[in-house]
Structure 1
Amino acid sequence: MHLFWQRGYEATSISELTAAVGVSAPSLYAVFGSKEDLFRAALQRYLEQFRRERGQLLAAPGLSARAAFEALFEAIADGFGRCPARSGCMLVAAETGGLGEAAAHLREVLGAHRAGIEAGFRQRIERGQREGDVAVGVDAAALAKFLSTVVQGLSIQARDGAGAEPLREVLRTALRAWPPA
């Protein structure tokens, strides 16, 4: 997972993967079938870890939608800033690491996962509308797209070496665009 996360799909070789895992290429293929299947398994593990560590912040009871996003964004900035490899988000890193023609269909997989995160953002905003802390007239889809785009851009900033505090400032700036209740 970490190799794909740091280097992207195309730039990660089978020999690097076998060395990292400590198995031979035939053993790797016997378990996973292909490099693409291994990538999909690594991506699934990354998403499960993200949901476990960060996703629950949006669902936390007793927080307004804005406060839930503040908590999520704080955790994301800390995570991106602490990561010694400055990898950012695997869903963005895999794309920016290059996907050649042989793996072009993985763009659809990555895009679907990013769309799923955006949908989760939208659901939390809509929950805020139902609970009265987000104005009913707010375009939940547009706000969710904006916030997910900021997080994706933050991932690129992290890959470029930005630490946690500059990332937090970007997120604080983004939250200033939060519509009044």
Structure 2
Amino acid sequence: MDSKQKEFSQLIKGNQGLIIKVSRLYTNSLEDEQDLFQEIVLQLWRSYDSFKGNSKISTWMYRVALNTAITLFRKKTKSPLTSELDEVHFEYEQEQDDEKQAQISLLYKVIKLLPNVERAIVMMYLDDVSYKEIAETLGITEVNARVKMNRLKKTLKELMTQHA
């Protein structure tokens, strides 16, 4: 494995949670989650050389992950080519705490009821991504991101109550 692949591998391992969250929010089964996780990693690898450092690495990763998730499952194509990363294997890991998993599952269930852009806003907000980065990632204004999130908080509270 060359130094570029090692650097990329460390980047993925350090930001695996981000990729898992996107995968979980845009799929409905564990198998699809795992497939999307691998496809996002592949797309990150393919665009790794094009990252110029003009934004935070996490902003770039969110952008690639969200674009991959939205377009892949919109097209319903499930045959990603993985030959470019054959030497590197990334494990998909899940937490095991049952009570915490139940709470997380309910949250994901209600977030999945939201349209794609709103899902992305909530996910990034929960990851403590700044409104500036959310706006940059999604191509909206910072004010718009704040307004949407405030509305989404109310919507999520209602949905959590209805589905609890």
TM-score between the two structures when normalised by the length of structure 2:
0.34
| More relative contact order, 1 or 2 (CA 8 Å, 6+ apart) | 1
Larger Rg: 1
